[in-house]
Amino acid sequence: MQEFGEVGGQPTLLVVHGLFGAGRNWRGLARNLAKDRRVVTVDMRNHGESFRDESNTYRDLARDLAKVIDEVGAPCDVLGHSMGGKAAMVLALEHGEQVNRLIVADIAPVPYEHSQISNVEVMKCIPIDQLTRRSEADEMMAERIPEPGVRAFLLQSLILSPDGNRWALNLDALEANMADIVGFPEVSGRFTGPALFLRGGKSPYVREAHRPRIESLFPNACLLYTSDAADDN
């Protein structure tokens, strides 16, 4: 957990990263948002420097976030992206007293058909103990992951160290839990607080067809579309 700014007149903002990410991905935004409030970023379980666990369901992640909020002080405003957006939604639905306002970036409370297993498989195939430069891994990944931006994002989690190279990801757990990660759990109840759903104009992750599901769970939701923005994660 990393904190920016100081407690002010607004609730603490908790920022929750997406799959294969880490709290560090949000440092720049967190610093900008911390001018009049405290902003907290976290590494989710099995990501970054957080703890490792065999399970990675959204109820797991929501309980982890609830513990963070207990520590920093409830209620918090919560901003979640991708996997973190789903975790934030489950947090709001099942621990609603801890969430003041909810912001969900480019994801909906629905299961998706795509999988990130192929990216996990590529990362697991890299002989990281033989690497001396990150560019070597990039060359190995290029045949199966042609998009330079995707490779660069994944390689942020490759730690090259004299003490031993490693991934800052529990790839085995993410692979085993991928069905849960691309899915969305059965939930009851609703979050009646303010909720903002952001969608990149070129992104396929939040569609107009998802609006009824969003509004059934988040009756005070507002959907905002940003043109010329796409999701690479």
- State how far the Cα of 18 lies from the Cα of 30, in Å rounded to an integer: 15
Q: What is the pLDDT of residues 105-114, one digit of tens each?
A: 999 999 998 8
CA 124 to chain centre: 21
Q: What is the pLDDT of residues 42-72, one digit of tens each?
A: 999 999 999 999 999 999 999 999 999 999 9
Of 100, 78, 97, residue with least CA distance to 87: 78
What is the reported pLDDT for 36?
87
Q: What is the CA radius of gyration of the chain?
A: 18
Of 157, 116, 118, residue with least CA distance to 134: 157
What is the reported pLDDT for 228?
57
Compute the average pLDDT of residues 115-133. 96
Burial readout 98-127 (b: 16 or more C-beta within 10 A, e: otherwise): bbbbbbbbbbbbeeeeeebeebbebbeebe
What is the reported pLDDT for 199?
87
In the structure, what pLDDT confidence band is assigned to residue 6 with cuts at 50, 70 and 90? confident
What would the two tokens of residue 179 be?
């069905």
* Residue 232 scores a pLDDT above 60: no
Compute the average pLDDT of residues 126-153. 96
Answer yes or no: are the C-beta atoms of 18 and 85 closer than 8 Å: yes
